[in-house]
Amino acid sequence: MTPLAENSTVIAAVIGLGSMGLGMARSMKRAGLDVVGYDITPAAIDRFITEGGRGAATPAGAAKDADIVVSVVVNGAQTEAVLFGPEGVASTMKAGAVFISSATMDPAVARNLAQRVEALGLHYLDAPISGGAAKAALGELTIMASGSSRAFDRARPGLDAMAGKVYELGDAAGTGAAFKMINQLLAGVHIAAACEAITFAAKQGLDLDRVYEVITASAGNSWMFENRVPHVLAGDYTPLSSIEIFVKDLGIVQDMARSERYPAPLAAAALQMYLAAAGAGMGRDDDSSLARLYSKLSGAELPGSNKKAQSL
């Protein structure tokens, strides 16, 4: 299989037009691809159409003529449904097309899905993403990808449009997923640590704006502290990445670690905090809501603590 001809119009289908998928669809459209979008929410499809994209009523309809199908859903189960469920894309994708799976999932699930897709004469690229909605909108995502050379060749126009950096991590599906889980272990622990630290600072009666200024210029800083603590300082827990995402992802980390008989106590402790926050009714709120949980446990006062959204 050769790469798509440079002078042909590449058709890409994006399944899932949430904050990440919409940005990815926009980036490919901006790069000159003919993009068809599908989402379970009709309003999301309508929004993309008003921007000049095309819409479809089903995943199968979106994928019918596509050279590239990008699945931007939450997990492995949803990815399987996109592929093989009612109106799934595997039923209409043309021979030689590539399926780019962007969901975070267990590497074993990615390997299984790849085998099933490739048995149909299609290509599968295991390609989880990092960077958030802002990077998706700019076409500057980090993509951790693994798959056959032919899958990469077929996916290249979409990858070039969506990503600032594509890491090619091997020829077998599952490797990209494994890299993403290492990232998620660190991200989940770092968010929990950032929320613990800023709420501890509040308990000490410190000026939180000054704490943020000092720590972001010091050795204790992390990308997550710098990115998430402003949500706490603003008292704004509008979800950009939700608590439930890390309930899922750190749960996968624990499953993987248990199967390898590998201890992961820091990830386990962080998972318990996300579970507690979800159980307290904050599952759909921003993951910086762990600070709210710490404040309720300790009596520390955070900005916006008198808002209704701050109550458990």
Q: Which residues are designated catalytic?
A: 180
Alpha-carbon distance values, 27 to 41, 48, 137, 141, 184 (Å)? 20, 12, 6, 10, 24
Of 228, 237, 242, 243, the residue nearest 195 (C-alpha): 228
Distance (Å, whole) CA 73 – CA 18? 9
CB 267 within 8 A of CB 188: yes
Distance (Å, whole) CA 291 – CA 196? 6
Distance (Å, whole) CA 30 – CA 266? 41
CB 24 within 8 A of CB 70: yes
Distance (Å, whole) CA 288 – CA 232? 7
Q: Residue 173 belongs to what H/E stretch?
A: none
CB 110 within 8 A of CB 101: yes
Distance (Å, whole) CA 296 – CA 300? 7
3-state secondary structure of 273: helix
CB 220 within 8 A of CB 230: no
